[in-house]
A and B are shown apart, each in its own frame.
Chain A
Amino acid sequence: MAEHATHDQHAESHESHSTRFYWMIGAILAVITAVEVAIFLVKDTIGHELFLAILFILSIAKGAGVVMYFMHLRGDARIFQLVFIVPFLLAVTLCLGFLTIFSHHVGIAG
Chain B
Amino acid sequence: MSATSHAHDEAGQAPLVGSLGVDSRKLGLWAFIGSETLFFTALITTHLIFYARTKADLAAKGMLEHMDPKLYLGIDLTTILAAILLASSLTMVLALAATKSKEWPKFRFWLLATIVLGSAFVLGQVYEFTHLYHEGLKLAPQYVYEGETVKSLFGVTFFVMTGFHGLHVTLGVVWLIAVYFKVRRFAASPENPMDVELVGLYWHFVDLVWVAIFTLVYLI
Indicate yes or no for A touching B, C-beta below 8 A. Answer: yes
Interface of B (DSSP majority class): helix
Q: Please name the 10 residue pairs, one residue from A and one from B, whose CB atoms are nearest each other, closest first.
A: A8-B21, A87-B34, A26-B90, A91-B41, A59-B215, A11-B21, A7-B21, A70-B204, A83-B30, A80-B30
- Interface size of B by CB at 8 A reads 49
Which of B93-101, B115-123, B158-166 is found at the contact surface with chain A? B93-101
A–B complex contacts, Cβ < 8 Å, 25 sampled: A4-B19, A7-B20, A9-B21, A22-B90, A22-B94, A26-B90, A29-B89, A30-B87, A33-B79, A40-B75, A63-B212, A66-B211, A70-B92, A70-B207, A71-B200, A77-B20, A79-B20, A79-B27, A80-B22, A84-B30, A84-B34, A87-B37, A87-B38, A91-B41, A99-B48
Within the complex, what minimum Cβ distance (angstroms) separates B161 from chain A? 13
Asked if A11 contacts B20 (CB within 8 A), the reply is: yes
Produce 1/0 per residue, A80-110, CB < 8 A to B. 1001101110110011001100111000000
A19 contacts chain B at the CB level, 8 A cutoff: yes
Is A40 in contact with B52, judged by CB distance below 8 angstroms? no
Name the prevailing secondary structure of the A interface residues.
Answer: helix
Q: Residue-by-residue, is B58-89 near A (CB-CB < 8 Å gives 1, otherwise 0)?
A: 00000000000000000100010011001101
